[in-house]
Amino acid sequence: MAEYLKLKKSNCANCYKCIRHCPVKSIKFSSGQAHIVSDECILCGQCFVVCPQNAKEIRNDIAKAVELIRSGKAVASVAPSFVANYPGATIGTMEKALKQLGFSEVQETAVGASIVKTQYENLIRANKQDVIISSCCHSVNLLIEKYYPEVLPYLAAVLSPMQAHCRKIKKEDPEAKTVFIGPCISKKAEAETYPGDVDCVLTFEELSQWLRQEGVTIEAGEDHLEESRARLFPTSGGILRSMIQDSQEYTYLVVDGIDNCIAALKDIKEGKLHKCFIEMSICAGSCISGPAMERNSRLPVRDYIAVNRYAGKKDFAVEQPGEQELIKDHRFIGLHRQMPGQNDIEEILHKMGKHSPEQELNCGACGYNTCREKAIAVYLGKANINMCLPFLKEKAESFSDTIINNTPNGIIVLNEALEVQQINSAARQIMNIRNASDVLGDQVIRILDPKVFLDVMQTGRSIHDEKVYLAEYQKYVEQTVIYDKSYRIIMCIMRDVTEEERQRIDKEKISKHTIEVTDQVIEKQMRVVQEIASLLGETTAETKIALTKLKDSLDDE
């Protein structure tokens, strides 16, 4: 599958939200980045909608549309959800704006929707399918084609409104180039999977970008067309509201939202549903909640009302094509994956620190519903073991505890209230504290002078390797105090230098004693020198200089 959804690599923050919301888990994480697995994706756009970092982007086809306009007659087919995306707009004001962009003609996709709904009515009257699933939503089609092939016989073999309308445009004018504009990502794939009808697909986001670039505004307007009931299609239940529901044998159902669609497909697969027509949309609320609706704030109630008001009570006056012209072939799309065996899954679970069912938390933090689903994803190369947050937390805590508890330096962590949050064994040894519980949660003043911690916290300037004598404990330490504003903690690192300091003091005592002895020797020598000065001459001065140098050398030490 072509790349319709792309990833802004620098934006991905490894929050795994896209995996949590992807109904088919077609996301792969590698090198700290999320990647969409194209052949598994159903292009529902949920990853695009929920990404908090705006890391996903839809392929932009504005340049392709511009090229079509330059090459000849380009006709825009505008999805009926435009009234929800552009409040106050009408097909007339849309036509005015789009013609400023270069389109030669602008029509409503709802005309194609009217053709499609009539064909659905014909299928129901023919009474040849036990269950009939609407085929308007290409993401629903992909979901069935890839993951529920047993349900393919129940998927209506009917063109989507986009295809039916663009085919009608080209039938009337073979020279025309068609550009569909709507709220859906999957329509880009549908147009390229079934070439010949739709030459280019733009989302409302792309159209809005293009309008801004050209300085064109879509104006508000007023118009009413009574023969426009198929404008209801983008709302939940809109297909059924457009149809004549005159069958006594069929039940008419509306299923929207990914979870509901999957649940319904499972029921159909298991033979639990019979004699029903199902309007199925992957988006909750149907197309007015499409992933490429341009507005950031989604207002489903207001949008529903806007579409409802704009639609008429009667069908479009459109000639119905023959049944053969509306047939759409749905094929099973195989996903060739070598699934792991039970031993493979168990081995991966063990690497994740899960050695029993009780340790399988199934918390969903990694994006997968269960630890076993995550293990399968690891086996398939779509996830890595470190995506398990409880496992990472336990590993990190164990690692940090090992370091802190085995370092020879004393470590004390305080909060901003100067309460002891953590203290390691080396620090307890320095201060003769038997158990950490004896001081945890208490004010640091119980064990240390708090002044240095207050100074560091107030000034924001850390202290490094300051030599301090802890009189209460008769210990010398080199003390480093650091204030971390982001975590609001104060960390004190103490290196016990008591033995080194004692050795230095002892050495100073020895040096001092040596200097005193040398002074005595010099004084004695000077007296002797004075007595025999006449005999020694210059040798006296040299002796004094040598002895003085020895004394100075000892002073330096």
* pLDDT at 390 exceeding the cut of 80: no
Cα–Cα distance measured from residue 273 to residue 253, given in angstroms and rounded to the nearest whole number: 11
Residue labelled with tokens 């004190």: 492
Average pLDDT over residues 440-454: 94
**Contact criterion met (CB below 8 Å) for 287 and 200:** no
Closest CA to 65 of 172, 198, 174: 198
- For the chain, how many helices (H) and strands (E)? 21, 16
Cα–Cα distance measured from residue 490 to residue 453, given in angstroms and rounded to the nearest whole number: 7
* pLDDT at 554 exceeding the cut of 80: no
Output 381-388 pairs: Cβ under 8 A, ≥24 positions apart: 381/28, 381/30, 382/25, 382/27, 382/28, 382/29, 382/37, 383/28, 383/29, 384/29, 384/30, 385/348, 385/351, 385/352, 387/16, 387/29, 388/352, 388/353
Cα–Cα distance measured from residue 524 to residue 326, given in angstroms and rounded to the nearest whole number: 126
Residue 544: the pLDDT is 65
* pLDDT at 310 exceeding the cut of 60: yes
Identify the band that residue 506 occupies on the pLDDT scale cut at 50, 70 and 90: confident
Closest CA to 387 of 373, 366, 356: 366
Please state, in angstroms and as integers, the Cα–Cα distance from residue 66 to each residue in 94, 187, 214, 292, 339, following that order.
17, 19, 12, 20, 45
Cα–Cα distance measured from residue 403 to residue 256, given in angstroms and rounded to the nearest whole number: 53
- For 302, residues 6+ apart whose C-beta sits below 8 A from its C-beta are 84
Cα–Cα distance measured from residue 163 to residue 392, given in angstroms and rounded to the nearest whole number: 49
Cα–Cα distance measured from residue 521 to residue 193, given in angstroms and rounded to the nearest whole number: 107
**Contact criterion met (CB below 8 Å) for 263 and 250:** no
**Contact criterion met (CB below 8 Å) for 216 and 145:** no
Output 404-412 pairs: Cβ under 8 A, ≥24 positions apart: 408/495, 408/496, 409/493, 409/494, 409/495, 410/477, 410/492, 410/493, 410/494, 410/495, 410/496, 411/491, 411/492, 411/493, 411/494, 412/444, 412/448, 412/491, 412/492, 412/494
**Contact criterion met (CB below 8 Å) for 159 and 116:** yes
**Contact criterion met (CB below 8 Å) for 505 and 534:** no
* Angle formed at CA 297 by CA 291 and CA 298, multiple of 5 degrees: 55
Instruction: Please state which of the ranges 283-287, 398-402, 421-425, 458-462 shows the lowest mean pLDDT.
Output: 398-402
* pLDDT at 161 exceeding the cut of 70: yes
Amino acid at position 321, single letter? P
* pLDDT at 214 exceeding the cut of 80: yes
pLDDT, tens only, 68-127: 999 989 999 999 999 999 999 999 999 999 999 999 999 999 999 999 999 999 999 999
* Angle formed at CA 488 by CA 482 and CA 489, multiple of 5 degrees: 45
Cα–Cα distance measured from residue 557 to residue 554, given in angstroms and rounded to the nearest whole number: 5
Alpha helix ranges (H) inside 154-215: 161-172, 186-193, 204-214
291 phi and psi angles, rounded to 5 deg: -65, -20
Alpha helix ranges (H) inside 243-297: 258-269
Cα–Cα distance measured from residue 323 to residue 303, given in angstroms and rounded to the nearest whole number: 33
Percent of residues, the chain, with pLDDT higher than 70: 92
For 463, the 3-state DSSP assignment is: strand
The backbone region for 244, taken as left when phi is positive above 0, alpha when psi lies in -120 to 50, beta otherwise, is beta
CA atoms within 13 A on the CB side of 418: 17
% helix, strand, coil for the chain, step of 5? 45, 15, 35
* pLDDT at 493 exceeding the cut of 90: yes
Q: Sort strands 33-36 and 27-30 into parallel, antiparallel or unpaired.
A: antiparallel
Residue 393: the pLDDT is 67
Residue that wins the pLDDT comparison between 166 and 36: 166
pLDDT, tens only, 329-366: 999 998 877 888 989 888 988 888 888 888 888 888 88
Tokens of 384: 């890595």
Residue 181: the pLDDT is 98
Closest CA to 208 of 218, 221, 220, 196: 218
For 179, the 3-state DSSP assignment is: strand
Residue 529: the pLDDT is 63
For 410, the 3-state DSSP assignment is: strand
For the residues of 93-161, what is the DSSP string, one character each? Answer: HHHHHHHHHT-SEEEETHHHHHHHHHHHHHHHHHT--SEEE----HHHHHHHHHH-GGGGGGB--B--H
Instruction: Please state which of the ranges 106-115, 164-173, 295-304, 321-330 shows the lowest mean pLDDT.
Output: 295-304
410 phi and psi angles, rounded to 5 deg: -75, 135
